[in-house]
Structure 1
Amino acid sequence: MKKISELLDVSAAQAWPVVRGIGDEDLAAPTPCREYDVRALLNHLFLVVANFRALAAREPVDFSRTPDVVTGDWRDRFGDGTARLVKAWDEPGAEDGVAGGMGLPARTVGLMVLGDLTVHAWDLARATGQDFAPDPAVVRELGPGLAAMAPQAREMKVFGEPFPVPPEAGAFEQVLAVTGRDPGWRPPRP
């Protein structure tokens, strides 16, 4: 079993080029997350990265508001933020016990942020016409982890209903489907 920090490092390295590839003209584009356009999804992802860094450090978090941080040099700030996230989860004891105020095992919380970072990188790539294929080691960890938390995530309205995929669907397609995403989603044509 790989450390969460190692998996996050790989996922962040794959997400950052996607974020850097988003043009200002893409910010109003729709995403596979119906409630978010690209700008809103970026703001959500920045919030996730900051709050889950704090959870690793057992600091308080606030998910109640999502400020607009997609201003100025936001692309480089994303890289800096994910580097701090990886570092926080690499600290001794970060995966032990309960993480922050969520009352969940720290490794489960780590898998949650790994899922957000990986799946939202795919969302952003699809929305902006970029390629994205997550690392197989990340997908191997996410598959069972997200499937286990899916019922509670659906109750909390974090995941949608599972999207039907054929049994031969790839591992990442299955991960996307368990979160309620259509793995074949493409932006609507103008």
Structure 2
Amino acid sequence: MTKTISELLDAAAEHAVPVVRGIADDRLSDPTPCVEYDVRSLTDHLIQVVINFQKLAAKQDSDFSSEPHYMQGDWRGRFADETAALVAAWAAPGAEEGTTGSMGFPARTVANMALGDLTVHAWDLARATGQEFTPDPAVVDEIGPALAEMAPMARQGGVFGEPVEVGDDASAFDRVLALTGRDPHWQPKRPE
């Protein structure tokens, strides 16, 4: 049975929230697999993403262009609260129906963008801060084909990097990471 997007987002949040809660303050300036972001700026970006995708679930305008400033106070708790609100927003009647966003994409496509960001950026943050991360298999099954369909446009828009080659024995999630331009074996550089 196909899970609703809110069920999938809830499963993704169950794996992402502990990663964000596990980020130590002394790791905030560490590099991440997203070369343009350190841990602080990627976490800030992820909170912004979660808030904007709540608006998109309600068919409201969102703004991804402004610089986020959420990394103050209890930002770990805020991330948990905002992911819960994201799940609730996509569980609302009609959230998965019709189109949403300035480009008029089908709502399920937009929700898969949120699901992909939540999952892939949780991996980015876990990898950057030395934490374990294993996504929910149902989430990977959903985002694999969805992100593959979006990949050409995402690359053209600079959202995905060029795909990374992985072996035939790569896991489904490693294939998703590679599709987005990430090396599934990325490790932070060790000080010499």
Q: For this structure pair, what is the TM-score category when the shorter chain's length is used for normalisation? A: over 0.9
C-alpha distance after superposition, 1:58-94 (max 9, x if no partner): 1111111122211111000000000000000001110
The match for 1:150 is 151
Residue 71 in structure 1 maps to residue 90 in structure 2: no
Secondary structure of the 2:42 match is: helix
After TM superposition, give the deviation of residue 144 of structure 1 in Å: 0.5
The match for 1:136 is 137
After TM superposition, give the deviation of residue 165 of structure 1 in Å: 0.4
C-alpha distance after superposition, 1:106-153 (max 9, x if no partner): 000000000000000000000000000001110000111101100000
Aligned partners of 1:131, 1:121: CA distance in 2, in Å? 10
After TM superposition, give the deviation of residue 101 of structure 1 in Å: 2.1
Residue 102 in structure 1 maps to residue 112 in structure 2: no
The match for 1:19 is 20
Aligned counterparts, 1:44-123, within 5 A: 44-123=45-124
**Structure 1: which 4+ aligned runs deviate by more than 2 Å?**
none
The match for 1:3 is 4
Aligned residues: 190
Structure 1 unmatched runs, 5+: none
TM-score (normalizing by structure 1): 0.98
The match for 2:176 is 175
In percent, how many aligned pairs have the same letter?
A: 64
Read off the aligned partner of 1:130 and give its amino acid letter. Answer: Q
RMSD (Å) for aligned C-alpha atoms: 0.7
The match for 1:127 is 128
Read off the aligned partner of 2:25 and give its amino acid letter. Answer: D
Read off the aligned partner of 1:163 and give its amino acid letter. Answer: V
Secondary structure of the 2:102 match is: helix
Aligned partners of 2:67, 2:51: CA distance in 1, in Å? 11
Aligned partners of 2:105, 2:80: CA distance in 1, in Å? 27
C-alpha distance after superposition, 1:23-55 (max 9, x if no partner): 110100000000000001011101100000000
Secondary structure of the 1:165 match is: coil
Residues 56 and 88 of structure 1 are in contact (CA less than 8 Å); yes or no, is this contact kept in structure 2? yes
After TM superposition, give the deviation of residue 100 of structure 1 in Å: 2.9
The match for 2:187 is 186
Structure 2 unmatched runs, 5+: none
Aligned partners of 2:146, 2:57: CA distance in 1, in Å? 18
Aligned partners of 1:77, 1:86: CA distance in 2, in Å? 14
Aligned partners of 1:27, 1:56: CA distance in 2, in Å? 30
Read off the aligned partner of 1:186 and give its amino acid letter. Answer: Q
Aligned partners of 2:67, 2:76: CA distance in 1, in Å? 17
